[in-house]
Amino acid sequence: MRTKRDLDILFNPRSIAFIGASQNPAKWGFIIPLNILKGQFKGELYPVNPRLESFLGIPCYPSVGAIPGSVDLAIITTPAKTVPSLIDECGAKGIRFVIVVSSNFSETGPEGAELERELVERAGRYGITIVGPNTMGIYSAASRLNALMPPVVPLEGRLSMFSQSGNVGVQMLYWGNNKGLGFNKFVSSGNEADLTCEDYLAYFGDDEATEVILGYMEGIDPGSDLIRVARRVCRKKPVLIFKGGRTATGGKAAASHSGAMAGSSRVLKGVFRQAGIVEIAESQGLIDAAKIFSAYPIPKGNRVGILTRGGGWGVITADACEEHGLVVPPLPEEIIRRLDKILPPYWSRGNPVDMAANILLEPFMECMEALAEWDEVDSVIALGGSIQGIFDFEAKVEGTKELKEVIILAREVAREYTTQNDVVLDHTRDLVDRTGKPVVVVTLGDYEGFKSDLRDHGVVSYPTPERAVKALKRMVEYRRFLDSPVEEI
């Protein structure tokens, strides 16, 4: 097994040399330092370009050697063929980490591969550790380091991610922003000439600021170090991996993208499960699972209580539960008696608990509480627990004078009702904390109130029951792993 790599300085540099600073707004040498500055990096940024005196209002240096202070990290965006000699300069300056954003290395053919070997060989001479080449950059919340290609500034959180595809990885940062999901560290691993996914996995595993690890991978050798590292890390924190190239078709695409050799999907699935990796097979599912793992406790088992405002949605949720291995136990007498006090006489007395079109908030909260406190379920799915976005407050008011007045009044009532929604969300979070069970909200609303649900109330919500069930299922799988005996390694 490879020696543990200490990547603390890479993710927490006090100073960065940005080699290839450019005033051409179409160049990465402009866009990336712009993103670093926009992200309000806490350390020193030293742009390097012999043809520039200043860059966006800060001094620019003719060479790495000309930088006055010490430098922890260099980022290079200059053409591939210039990179090896720049490594020499970095080595001379005592820089320990270099991120090579430049492309045209092994991903483009044998000539690039030769250049990549030279790059690694030179770095080795100076004890320099390389990220990339052909990477879309890194992000680190602690130092507000936002050295990424696209103009995304992630929310801060406890999730860390490595990605063998820059595009897929940064998209998760975007989606995280839209859903209120915060990241702690992110790295696009690029061609992995030196640092590889298993290095990042091991580091995130030991990193106290990281609570959940996400990964997008294309090439995984079932007997690789990655699996050995995962076995250890997964006991400590959840590792969710989205594997591209699961099929022959996808594998062929992966081979020409990242050069990954696709292993048999079936073999890999077993290896993942044994190691404790939570495997995700859909892009939306990765961010959905990340959300619940980052905000909720792992349930003790697969039994679910369902609360719904309308019967049909209860049926759909129950179907999804069975299809994904979750169990919906019947209500015991004691819970029925408790719900009898809240619901109309003709309520169905089953799980899903159907509120029969009662849209009031108080009984909804009481039912949710009864289900969460029921000791024969491990989690609760509450449909309609967030109703933001249902009412169109901006719609044009038309009709008779009386009608217009009523529409405006109805709007005020709806607005008041929407505001009370916050009470339900806070109550939901209290239940999670008190019972230690995930109480997952399904909004049905197709909106991004999810962001405030999570960010302002700590509540995990999804637009559909199926997405809630699939995310919960991932937690149940992880629970099974945690409860399994530790294997000899």
Q: Which CB, 54 or 484, lies closer to its own copies?
A: 54
Q: Which of 5, 93, 257, 273 binds its own copies (CB under 8 A)?
A: 257
- 474 lines the binding site for its own copies (CB under 8 A): no
For residues 135-194, which are near its own copies according to CB under 8 A?
A: 150-151, 153, 163-169, 171, 174-175, 178-179
Q: Which of 53, 208, 333, 392 binds its own copies (CB under 8 A)?
A: 392
For residues 221-250, which are near its own copies according to CB under 8 A?
A: 244-250
Q: Which CB, 398 or 487, lies closer to its own copies?
A: 398
**In the complex, minimum distance from the CB of residue 360 to its own copies, in angstroms, rounded to a whole number:** 10
The two structure tokens encoding residue 289:
């699972």
For residues 319-358, which are near its own copies according to CB under 8 A?
A: 319-323, 327-328, 346, 348-350, 352, 354, 357
Q: Which of 84, 124, 301, 311 binds its own copies (CB under 8 A)?
A: 311
**In the complex, minimum distance from the CB of residue 417 to its own copies, in angstroms, rounded to a whole number:** 11
Q: Which CB, 432 or 468, lies closer to its own copies?
A: 468
**In the complex, minimum distance from the CB of residue 138 to its own copies, in angstroms, rounded to a whole number:** 17
Q: Which CB, 282 or 483, lies closer to its own copies?
A: 282
Find, among 356, 384, 380, 376, the residue nearest to 368 by Cα.
380
Q: Which of 12, 63, 274, 283 binds its own copies (CB under 8 A)?
A: 283
- 114 lines the binding site for its own copies (CB under 8 A): no
- 81 lines the binding site for its own copies (CB under 8 A): no
Q: Which CB, 1 or 410, lies closer to its own copies?
A: 410
- 406 lines the binding site for its own copies (CB under 8 A): yes
For residues 259-278, which are near its own copies according to CB under 8 A?
A: none
The two structure tokens encoding residue 66:
């000309």
- 92 lines the binding site for its own copies (CB under 8 A): no
Q: Which of 9, 253, 336, 361 binds its own copies (CB under 8 A)?
A: 253
